[in-house]
């Protein structure tokens, strides 16, 4: 059972990795469905997801075969409903329970026939059968635990690899959070990248290479085709991505960010706007007028105390965009 358990753990690990890859692509596609439809990428995404599904199924074949061996060689759990509710029972495996007594009795019968001694069959065979019956259940339970143990170890390896990923040092954010008396004295730019390679995480390849960029105070517009890295650049300005090579220098301590996809919590409109800050009526009214949100609030019976719902389900797309702009 140990070889089967070891192989099943590795096979399950490979299968879970393929499942994770397919779900990642599917989730990203569903999250960007509008862009996929506008660009006509449906015919491109469908074969990709189908291919990942085929790879996932082929990878699971090895694990399924090993699972058959586990069912044949050891006990397997089965959920049952009893008088006290749900319970867990163990069904005896087929091979050990059926063939062990038969094989034992056959071996003693052969020994008795070869030695022409019938006392061997009667004295030892039935005693051995009784011992086998007593030891079968404990041994089968132990064998049933071994595959689950190896599979759990394989899952722990993946969890450990995830936890061991490098995270940005808090000291970097503490340094950037310090007030800067005069940006002209320290850095003439609000943000500066010098030959920077930017990646989404430490284990990914850079998506922006050799980036050199200096942004001054004022209005700056980033223009480019779809998928060229505009959002990645903006998130890198906010230290959301990793600079693997080069440098990033910022001369600001706080930044307001209005994402392309609105993030609305299941709370009132006012709570989504002010967050955890103190409520300032004058500043609130000024920014509300600047974002064009006054007309929307007047149209709602409860005004800014209207419940947005999960993901802003009770609001239109434009209202969600204006609320996020107001919050920023």
CA dihedral of 275, 281, 285, 287, whole degrees rounded to 10: -50
**Sheet of strand 191-199, all strands in order from the earlier edge strand to the far edge:** 208-215, 191-199, 242-250
| pLDDT at position 72 | 67
In the numeric block, the tokens 């060229």 are attached to 228
DSSP letter (8 states) at residue 311: G
Q: What is the DSSP string of 26-62?
A: HHHHHHTHHHHHHHT-HHHHHHHHHHHHHHHHHHHHH
**Inter-residue contact 241 to 198 (CB < 8 Å):** yes
Opening angle at CA 96, ends 90 and 97, nearest 5: 65
Q: What is the DSSP string of 115-172?
A: HT-HHHIIIIIHHHHHHHHHHHHHHHHHHHHHHHHHHHHHHHHHHHHHHTS----HHH
- What digits encode the pLDDT tens for the residues 70-99? 776 655 444 444 433 444 444 445 566 667
- What is d(CA 272, CA 155) in angstroms, rounded to the nearest whole number? 38
In the numeric block, the tokens 């949100």 are attached to 293
Of 166, 107, 158, 97, give the one whose Cα is nearest residue 132.
Answer: 97
Angle between helices 126-163 and 94-115 (to 10 degrees): 140
| pLDDT at position 217 | 82
| C-beta neighbour count of 77 within 10 angstroms | 11
| pLDDT at position 83 | 39
| pLDDT at position 282 | 85
| pLDDT at position 84 | 38
> Which residues are within 8 A (CB) of 112 and not within 5 positions of it... i.e. 6 or more apart?
118, 120, 121, 125
| pLDDT at position 187 | 56
| pLDDT at position 51 | 92
Neighbour-count burial for 94-112, b at 16+ CB within 10 Å, e otherwise = eebbeebbeebbeebeeeb
| pLDDT at position 161 | 73
- What digits encode the pLDDT tens for the residues 255-278? 777 777 777 888 888 888 887 778
Low-confidence ranges of the chain (pLDDT < 50): 76-92, 170-185
| C-beta neighbour count of 121 within 10 angstroms | 17
| pLDDT at position 30 | 85
Does the predicted model carry a pTM greater than 0.85?
no
């Amino acid at each position: 059972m140990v070889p089967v358990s070891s192989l099943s753990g590795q096979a399950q690990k490979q299968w879970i990795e393929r499942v994770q890859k397919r779900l990642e692509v599917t989730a990203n596609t569903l999250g960007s469905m509008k862009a996929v439809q506008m660009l006509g990428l449906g015919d491109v995404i469908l074969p990709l997801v189908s291919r990942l599904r085929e790879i996932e199924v082929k990878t699971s074949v090895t694990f399924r075969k090993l699972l058959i061996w586990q069912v044949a060689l050891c006990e397997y759990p089965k959920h049952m409903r009893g008088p006290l509710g749900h319970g867990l029972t163990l069904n005896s495996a087929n091979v050990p329970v059926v063939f062990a007594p038969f094989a034992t009795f056959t071996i003693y019968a052969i020994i008795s026939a070869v030695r022409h001694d019938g006392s061997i069959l009667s004295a030892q065979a039935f005693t051995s059968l009784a011992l086998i019956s007593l030891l079968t259940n404990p041994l089968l339970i132990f064998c049933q635990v071994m595959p689950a143990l190896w599979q759990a170890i394989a899952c722990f390896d993946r969890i450990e690899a995830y936890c061991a990923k490098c995270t940005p040092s808090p000291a970097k954010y503490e340094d950037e959070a310090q007030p800067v008396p005069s940006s002209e004295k320290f850095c003439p730019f609000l943000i500066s990248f010098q030959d920077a390679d930017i990646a989404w995480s430490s284990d990914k390849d850079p998506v922006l290479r050799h980036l050199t960029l200096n942004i001054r105070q004022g209005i700056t517009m980033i223009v480019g085709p779809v998928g060229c890295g505009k959002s990645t650049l903006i998130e890198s300005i906010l230290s959301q991505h990793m600079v693997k090579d080069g440098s990033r220098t910022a001369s600001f301590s706080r930044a307001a960010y209005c994402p392309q996809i609105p993030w609305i919590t299941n709370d009132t409109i006012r709570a989504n706007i002010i967050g955890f800050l103190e409520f300032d009526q004058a500043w609130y009214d000024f920014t509300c007028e600047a974002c064009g949100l006054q007309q929307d609030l007047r149209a709602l019976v409860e005004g800014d105390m209207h419940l947005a719902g999960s993901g802003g389900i009770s609001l239109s797309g434009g209202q969600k965009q204006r609320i996020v702009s107001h919050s920023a």
